[in-house]
A and B are shown apart, each in its own frame.
Chain A
């Protein structure tokens, strides 16, 4: 089945230690998104790629970076995780003219 896969499901990292979360898709969608969802809060868009074009949200901290080496893969890099970065990170894809997203299962990040 075509889907969006996020690895790992759970990630524990140390305070200040760089961490990378991965997302892959078999849908061949142009657009890939990263959302951050903290407990009891709405998912918040961090950035997205439209093909190779990177679009950062104005309030996304510099600590968060992303890479998209090809259509299928997209990575979220957190350069120096702080305790406040503990959250569920959701990857999603869409076509630019489509009517919704396809979401991955998310990666729950814990910072110790």
Chain B
């Protein structure tokens, strides 16, 4: 079945540690890729997106993600996390590759950053 998979449901890190959250999708063809973040008690916010071009995408708050087409992956990274990065992170795919934006979400990864 077509899906979006996030490998880790919970991640616990200390401040200044590096972060990598995995995301794989199973849709063929052209896709648009997104990472959203949900801080405690807040709504989903867009971190970054990939449509085309440079597969290394930089987003807000020092986050970046790399699209590897051959691996159907779009992993999220941050070199040094802060306590304020504690949140839930969702990978999402628009399998139509544009036009109408039907987003399919992964199950999310809860990140807890300890001071």
Chain A positions within 8 Å of B, measured between CB atoms, are: 4, 31, 35, 40-45, 48, 50, 90, 92, 94, 96-101, 103-106
Contacts of A97 in B (CB 8 A): 98-99
Report Cα–Cα, A94/B46, bound state, in Å: 13
Q: Does B102 touch A at the CB level, under 8 Å?
A: yes
Report Cα–Cα, A103/B104, bound state, in Å: 14
Within 8 A of A (CB), among B30-58: 32, 34, 36, 42-46, 49, 51
A101 touches B99 (CB 8 A): no
- Which residue of the partner chain, among B43, B101, B105, contacts A100 with CB atoms under 8 Å? B101
B100 touches A96 (CB 8 A): yes
A101 touches B105 (CB 8 A): no
Contacts of A94 in B (CB 8 A): 101
Within 8 A of A (CB), among B80-103: 90, 98-103
Contacts of A105 in B (CB 8 A): 42-43
B43 touches A106 (CB 8 A): yes
Report Cα–Cα, A87/B75, bound state, in Å: 28
B90 touches A50 (CB 8 A): no
Report Cα–Cα, A106/B107, bound state, in Å: 17
B100 touches A50 (CB 8 A): yes
Chain B positions within 8 Å of A, measured between CB atoms, are: 4, 9, 32, 34, 36, 42-46, 49, 51, 90, 98-108
**Interface residues of B, dominant DSSP:** loop
- Given A40-B9, A45-B102: A100 touches B107 (CB 8 Å cut-off): no
Contacts of A35 in B (CB 8 A): 105
Task: Using CB atoms, name the residue of chain A closest to B3.
Answer: A42
B107 touches A45 (CB 8 A): no
Task: Using CB atoms, name the residue of chain B closest to A98.
Answer: B101
Contacts of B36 in A (CB 8 A): 103
A42 touches B4 (CB 8 A): yes
Contacts of A98 in B (CB 8 A): 101
- Which residue of the partner chain, among B4, B103, B106, B107, contacts A101 with CB atoms under 8 Å? B103
Report Cα–Cα, A98/B49, bound state, in Å: 12
